[in-house]
Each structure stands twice: as C-alpha cells, then as structure tokens.
Structure 1
Amino acid sequence: MTITETARNRAAFDRFHDATNTGSFEVIEKTIDEVVAPDVVFHAPVPMDTTGAQALKQVWTVLLRAFPDLRVTAEDVLVDGDKIVCRNTVTGTHRGEFRGMPATGKSVSYSEIFILRFAGGRVTEIWGVVDVLTQLRQLGALAA
C-alpha cells in the first residue's frame, strides 16, 4: 500500500464520516455511491433484506428515520494498509420508529467499532460491532 493509496482511503473515509453527520439521507446516499463499492460486503448486527451498497443505504434510512439528530463522533481512527478502524460514539434522540418501537423521545449514547477495507479508493468490505444492548436499554426496551 503506497502513501498515496493510504491518503486516498483516509480521504474517502473522512468524506463518508462527514456525510453521516449531515442528517441528510440524500447527502449520505450520494457519498455512499461515490466512496463505497456497489457490491460492498457488509457485516453488522442490523437485519437487512438487501446486500451491497443498498444495504448500507437501508441502514442509514432506518437510523435517520429513528434518530434524525444522529451524530457519530470518531473517537479513534487507525489506518493500517488497506483497512481503517474507527471507534465511534453515537448519539441521538429517538424521534421515530426503531426496531418495532415507537418514538420515545429518549436520548441514546452508545459505542461502535467499524473496520473498513478499501480497494481502488472505495470501501469494499465493512465489519461492524455496535453496542445494541446499551442502545436498547437506553430506549427502555430492556431492563437496565
């Protein structure tokens, strides 16, 4: 991996991360089309009925409908070869249906870690670990 490839991957990551914090599905969708491979392999604890970049778009549709003020703060970003690892804190207010639960108005703050693999300057594979247990507890779906 050359310095140029690493810088291109980091720039693509930064564009995607910045887009996620706009609150605009249109901006996120456009950025996904530009920096994520259409056949990206997406591994995360979110049920989906589609694959590839469409699965990632579906995730963001669900998240923004439920948490329109969603913010993703990158606490740590590590770059190693063709991979970028990001440890995030996610915050938002539950204003719409999420996982079958109607809006509660409750705030959430939970952690997640994602590993992104790049090829040709685009994300080709994503692994995600999301603290869904904390998220559901804060929403009142599970006892503390």
Structure 2
Amino acid sequence: MSAAGTAGNTAALHRFHSAVNSGDPDVVSKAIDEFVAPDVRFHAPVPMGASGAEALKRVWDVLLSAFPDIRVTIEETVSEGDRVVARNTVTGTHLGVYQGLQPTGKSVSYNEIFIFRFAEGRITEIRGVVDVLTQLRQLGALPS
C-alpha cells in the first residue's frame, strides 16, 4: 500500500472518530455507513443477534444511551499497510443504564486499543481491547 493510502486510512479513522464524538446517534450511524463496510468483521464483544456494521451500530447505541457525553480521544495512531492501530482514551458520564447498572452519574476514563483493517477506504475488520475492568471499577460495579 502506498504512503498516500496509509495516510488516507488514518485520515478516514480520524473523521470517523469526529462523528462518534458528536454524541448524535444519527451522525454516528451515518458515519458507520460511510466508513465501515457492511460486512465488517468485528472481533470484540458485541450484542447478540447482529453482525457487521449493524453490530457496531448497536454498540454505539448502547454507549451513547449510557454515556451521552462519551468522547474518544485518539492518543496515537500507527499505520502500516492496510491497518491503522489507534490507542484511545474514552471518557464519559454514566447517565443511562449500562451493563445492567442503573445510572450513577459517575465519570469514567479508560483506555482502549483498536486495530482497523481497511480496503478501498473503508474499515473491513476491527480488533479491539477495551479496559472494561477500569471502567466497571469507576462505576462502582467492582471493588477497586
């Protein structure tokens, strides 16, 4: 892949995250349609009964309902070939039901790392590791 292609993939990921950070479910859904292949392979815990881009939309519906002010800050990216790795910090305020937890009003800040594979300018595969342990401890669901 050319340097221009790698840079284009990184730029696409940044535009996708800008849409995610809008907090608007419709904007997020449209961004998924634009930047993510419909049959994306999503290797992370996802809601049952969905796959591909629809699973990703459900994940964001859950997150936006639970954390309406959720913000994903890209701390760094590494690009090679058809892949972009993003190390992110996620912040938000727990104002809706999440993982069975009633809203606590608590703020969360946790880290995640995702590897995105691109083809023809769209995300075709996602592999992620999210620090859910820190998130759940901050919400009081687990002891510190």
Calculate the TM-score normalised by the size of structure 1.
Answer: 0.96
How far 1:7 sits from its partner (Å)?
A: 2.8
How far 1:30 sits from its partner (Å)?
A: 0.4
The aligned residue for residue 14 of structure 1 is 14
Q: Post-superposition, which runs of at least 4 consecutive aligned residues in structure 1 deviate over 6 A?
A: none
Q: Where do 1:1-144 residues align within 5 Å?
A: 1-144=1-144
1:78 and 1:48 map into 2 onto residues whose CA distance is 31
How far 1:99 sits from its partner (Å)?
A: 0.5
- Where 1:129 maps in the other structure, the secondary structure is strand
1:32 and 1:98 map into 2 onto residues whose CA distance is 22
Note the residue ranges of structure 2 that are not aligned, 5 or more in a row: none
How far 1:46 sits from its partner (Å)?
A: 4.0
Q: Kindly, what percent of the aligned residue pairs are identical? A: 65
**Length, aligned pairs only:** 144
RMSD value, Cα:
1.0
1:108 and 1:53 map into 2 onto residues whose CA distance is 26
Q: Contact 1:45–1:128 at 8 Å: present in 2 too?
A: no
Q: Contact 2:10–2:77 at 8 Å: present in 1 too?
A: no
1:89 and 1:4 map into 2 onto residues whose CA distance is 27
Note the residue ranges of structure 1 that are not aligned, 5 or more in a row: none
Q: Contact 2:74–2:89 at 8 Å: present in 1 too?
A: yes
Q: Contact 2:68–2:92 at 8 Å: present in 1 too?
A: yes
